[in-house]
A and B are shown apart, each in its own frame.
Chain A
Amino acid sequence: MGGIFRLVILIIVLAAGIAGIRLAAGRLASGRAEKEAAEQVSLAETGSAAGWTAQEKADPLLSSSSEEETKQDGLTEAPEEGESVDRQSSEGLSAGGSSADAGGDAAADDGATTAAAEAEEEKPAFDHVMTELENGYAYLASLDARTPVEMEYMISEAQKEHEKELEREAYRLKREKYRESLEGKRLWDAFEDFVFLGDSRVVGFDVYGLLPSDRVLAEAGDTINSITNRMDTIKSFSPKYIFISYGINDIGIGFWPTAEEYTSAFSEKLHELQKELPEAEIYVNSIIPARGDAAQAYPVWQGIPEYSEAVRQMCEREGFAFIDNASVIEEHMDQYADDGVHMQPDFYRYWAENQLLAVFDRKNGVLSF
């Protein structure tokens, strides 16, 4: 009797096992087909296939509409490989689904044929997954290859750069505070013990009554050669600050046909000046470009940015302070006179402010800001 009971239990277990497996197979086949279909849709939607990146379909947190647009892009403009994977996978899935459904009805031979066809169709999708896995493992390997010592070095470098950035930021704030202090009438009072050398553009400081006439050593048509010509006058003031702004005539007359030749000659003049007045601080302005009809009439002036950049490099190389007026000009383009060369009276205030900021920068050890 005990033997029969054990036999019954065994049969129950075996039967239950077989039935369970078959039931599970049936349920899982349909469940898995649905799940894989959902996965394929997800694959296309999340754009993870074929190396698509998450934000190639836009940042969903930033813009849901753009996400939808890019999702559509991902589906319509996906790489051919992605499209082929998507298409073949879905074909494979439908075949898999039908074969799973027909599994109970069809003969074994039919099932085998379907399976073979399915295998053929699913191969590219399988290869694609393998490529994705290889990329994933390669990424992990690249992280494993990093040593903590290397990372510590990177962090210490980042800390140094961060400290420099903090210093720069602190200086920017300090400079801005100084600029604000220049607002109002005190701006012209701030010029002390100086001379201003230059061409017709600099003459404006005198003509518009902004700076003392005797300290503005400039005339229309002047070039860097005027430095030598005016040396005695300059020396007579023994100025602490010398502001220089030439270039428009220097380039216009074509005496220095290349930027290199010009900066070479300019450098000589600056050193000559420094030699005569060793205590003076020399500030060289960037060349204010010509615009409009003037630039059209004299194509040579179109080379002003190139000359100006060469002057900047020369100043950095030779240790002279360089005043970059580009941002001031850009901000006040409406201040050009009709001739496209000279400036309107209001511009001189901004220009003068830039000279004083350059002095401030130099006092703080910054040659050009």
Chain B
Amino acid sequence: MAFEKYAAGREQNAAAAAQGKKKRMMDPAASRPSRTETVYEEDEYTAAGGDEMSGPEQKGGGNGGRIPIVLLCAALIAAGVFLLYKDISRDYRHGIYRCENGRMLEAPAEPDPGKTDLVSSGVKNLAEKFPDVDQYMMLVPAAACIQPEDLPENAQIRDQRADLAQIRSKMPQSLHWIDLAETLSGHSGENLYYDSDIYLTGWGSRYAARTAMTAMEVKIPEGRDQCYLLSNTLIGRLAADRLPALHLLDRQGERLEIYVPEKEAYYYCINGRSGKRSGSLYDSEAAAGTSPYNVFFEGGKALTQIHTTAINGETLLVVGDRTADSIVPLFVSSFEHIILMHPSKCAKTVAGLAREYEVTKILYLYDANDFMTDSALLRALN
């Protein structure tokens, strides 16, 4: 039954891909009319207009009073076209840069010093309550910070690495800071982020996971990683800002890949809210759906427990946003238990979960922009 769904999904994907290809193939002839066609349409319009205007002339022998109205209409049309073109041509809208290569990059957000202080205070309190629990923080920098060469020429963005350094300086000594920006900067020429979303790609997530595992001093799975393509129709949330016409024409989407260690541990996960158990961290229906990123943890659950065969006595509590969803699956071979909490959806507190699951490590894993703007973590910490 499940396979039939995949097959249906696959056909959907195929159809979407085929549609994209077909459109592209047919563009010169159909989707994008040639200049010849355009001229023809304009001629037709002129001819129609001529007929329309000649009508009253035939009936009433001419109406010079309508000429200004027609001119006005023409002017309005020109203005409308101009405004539309200007709007389309803008390379910065609502905090998102549209790059020359079609990529969309979110501008780094401004950190809120007050919020950072509160987080720091929460982390410090937690360290006092649980002195044996190691706390780590890894913020995923914005793509614009790691790959600024794609930004439009005149784009001026914040120095997010400096912001991150400042946040780091405010955090208590007990917190282990994981500098992912440094790792990613060393591979900035690679496919680390989606073009139309803020999230890390499978390849970028792999870097993030390995950086985190190295910092947390846990065993990194041996052997090769196998790459699986789960979708080639991903259109990220940054693309939602584009005009509908543009959106429709760009249906082909991006590749969503995951990397799986060759000797991955066995595991099962439990939805913290419903108690539903599953042998998979992925939602196969979502992979074939319209929001492929929801393939991870069924679109992000409030609380997920993962139990694995990597018996090492380590229980990791990941407190994060949806950025964490693509990274956490890479931890399953390195921790016996993993608790994934999304503070924006979960009413529990970090301290409560740390006590309930007897965690040995806590990892705060956020997109840097989300961390700076979202206040759910504050509630969960304090």
Contact = CB atoms under 8 A, between A and B. Distances in A.
Interface stretch (A109-117, A245-253, A335-343): A109-117
Contacts of B214: 61
Interface string B5-45: 01001100110011001101111110111111110000000
A108 B17 contact: no
Contact of A12 (B80, B195, B246, B279): B80
A136 interface: yes
Interface stretch (A149-157, A291-299, A305-313): A149-157
Contact of A27 (B34, B76, B88, B287): B88
A28 B183 contact: no
Contacts of B186: 64
Nearest to B308: A155
Nearest to A64: B186
A19 B81 contact: yes
Contacts of B225: 53-55
Interface stretch (A35-43, A184-192, A349-357): A35-43
Contact of A144 (B85, B211, B260, B280): B280
Nearest to B265: A158
B162 interface: no
B155 interface: no
Contact of A112 (B6, B13, B28, B101): B28
B71 to A, nearest CB: 11
Contact of A108 (B22, B29, B85): B29
Given A16-B84, A140-B230, A151-B267, A39 B2 contact: no
A46 interface: yes
Contacts of A173: none
Interface stretch (B55-63, B113-121, B248-256): B248-256
A124 B235 CA distance: 24
B79 to A, nearest CB: 8
B29 A115 contact: yes
B102 to A, nearest CB: 3
B263 interface: no
Nearest to A55: B224
B185 interface: no
B279 A151 contact: yes
Interface size class of B (residues with CB under 8 A): 35 or more
Interface string B253-287: 00101111010001110000000011111101001
B6 A137 contact: yes
Contacts of B81: 15-16, 19
Given A16-B81, A141-B6, A155 B88 contact: no
A137 B183 CA distance: 31
B229 interface: yes
B102 A106 contact: no
A159 B312 CA distance: 9
A102 B243 CA distance: 25
Contacts of A145: 2, 279
B229 A133 contact: yes
Contacts of A102: 28
Nearest to A151: B268
Contacts of A130: 10, 14, 17
B251 to A, nearest CB: 11
A119 interface: yes
Contact of A48 (B227, B284, B308): B227
B250 A32 contact: yes
Interface in B181-195: 183, 186-187, 190-191, 195
Contacts of B308: 155
Contacts of A146: 266, 268, 279-280
Given A34-B101, A35-B102, A137-B287, A151 B28 contact: no
A130 B103 CA distance: 24
B27 A29 contact: yes
B202 to A, nearest CB: 9
A25 interface: yes
Contacts of A39: 255
A26 B191 CA distance: 26
A126 B10 contact: no
Contacts of B22: 119
Contacts of B255: 39
A361 interface: no
A56 interface: yes
B280 A20 contact: no
A87 interface: no
B32 A25 contact: yes
A122 B266 contact: no
A212 interface: no
Interface string B103-140: 10000000000000000000000000000000000000
Given A12-B80, A115-B27, A139 B228 contact: yes
A295 B13 CA distance: 69
A104 interface: yes
Given A122-B21, A130-B14, A146-B268, A20 B224 contact: no
A34 B312 CA distance: 47
Contacts of A162: 311-312
Interface in A218-241: none
Contacts of A54: 203, 206, 224-227, 259
A76 interface: no
A132 interface: yes
Nearest to B87: A20
Give 3 closest A-B pairs by Cβ, nearest first. Answer: A111-B28, A146-B279, A31-B102
Given A139-B260, A151-B267, 13 more contacts: A7-B73, A20-B84, A20-B243, A22-B38, A26-B32, A105-B35, A129-B229, A130-B17, A137-B10, A143-B282, A146-B268, A151-B266, A155-B311
Interface of B: 2-3, 6, 9-10, 13-14, 17-18, 21-22, 24-29, 31-38, 69, 72-73, 76-77, 80-81, 83-85, 88, 100-103, 183, 186-187, 190-191, 195, 203, 206-207, 210-211, 214, 223-232, 243, 245-246, 249-250, 252, 255, 257-260, 262, 266-268, 277-282, 284, 287-288, 295, 307-312
6 contacts: A19-B81, A54-B226, A105-B35, A137-B9, A159-B311, A161-B311
